[in-house]
Amino acid sequence: MMRVVLVLLIAGLFAGCTATAPQETAEKGGQATAGPAVDPAARAAFDAALEAMREGRDDQAEQILLKMTQDFPQLSGPQANLGIIYFRAGKLDEAEAAFQRALEINPGSAVSLDYLGVINRDKGRFKEAAGFYQRAIEADPNYAYAHRNYGILLELYMGKLKQALAQYEEYQKLTKGEDKQVAKWIVDLSRRSGAEK
C-alpha cells in the first residue's frame, strides 16, 4: 500500500498550485497539468523526502517535509506525507492535523481523506470515518484503497454487509483482482449477506 500511496502523492504534490486545484490523479509524473511551472527546488526536495520514506528514514524525510511546508506552503504533498510519517509512527493526532492541513490546500486529496477515514475509525468515530471515505471516493472514484477501507468500516464496525460487499467488489475491480485476501472476504461476505447467487 505504501508504494501506491507514495506514487499518488508524487502525482498530487502540486495540487495546491492553482486556484482550481486538480485532483491528485489529474497530474502525471509530478508535472502539473495546469498552472505555473513547478519550482525545481520543490521537486528535488520532495523527491528526496519520498526516497527517504521508501528507505525507512522517516526522521530525515520529516525534516525535509517540514522545511518544504515553510518554503512552499501552497503545496499539499508535503503535508500529506508528513501525515503518513506520523500515522506510521502511531502519532494519530499529529497525522490528523497534517492531513487536515493538506485538505486546506487541496480539498480533493483522496489520499488525505482516506487516511482521515482510518484515523477516525481507529478513534471510534465511525460516522465521521464514513464521511471521509465517501469524500475520498467522490474526489477520486478510482482510488482503490478508499473503497477497501470503507468496506472494512461498513462490515466490521457498522454491520452493513451488502454495502461493504459493494465496496470490496469495486476495490477488486480497480486493482484487477490482485488482492487475494479481499477475494476471500468477498466470498465470505457474499454468503453472510445473502448476496451469493
Q: Are 66 and 74 in contact (CB under 8 A)?
A: no
Tens digit of pLDDT for each residue in 123-168? 999 999 999 999 999 999 999 999 999 999 999 999 999 999 999 9
Taking Cα atoms as reference points, which of 78, 2, 84 lies closest to residue 42? 78
* Dihedral angle of Cα 140, 145, 149, 154, to the nearest 10 degrees: 50
Q: What's the start-to-end Cα distance of the chain, in Å?
A: 32
Residue type for position 98: A
CA 106 to chain centre: 12
Question: Whole-prediction pTM value?
Answer: 0.80
Catalogue the E-assigned strands of the chain: none
Mean pLDDT over the full length of the chain: 84
Mean pLDDT of 62-83: 96
> Hey, what amino acid is at 9?
L
Domains identified in the chain and CATH numbers: 1-108 (1.25.40.10), 110-197 (1.25.40.10)
Number of alpha carbons in the 13 Å side-chain half-sphere of residue 93: 0
Query: Contact at 8 Å (CB) between 117 and 100?
Result: no
Cell 511546508 sits on residue: 69
Which pLDDT score is estimated for 11? 40
Q: Is the pLDDT of residue 4 over 50?
A: no
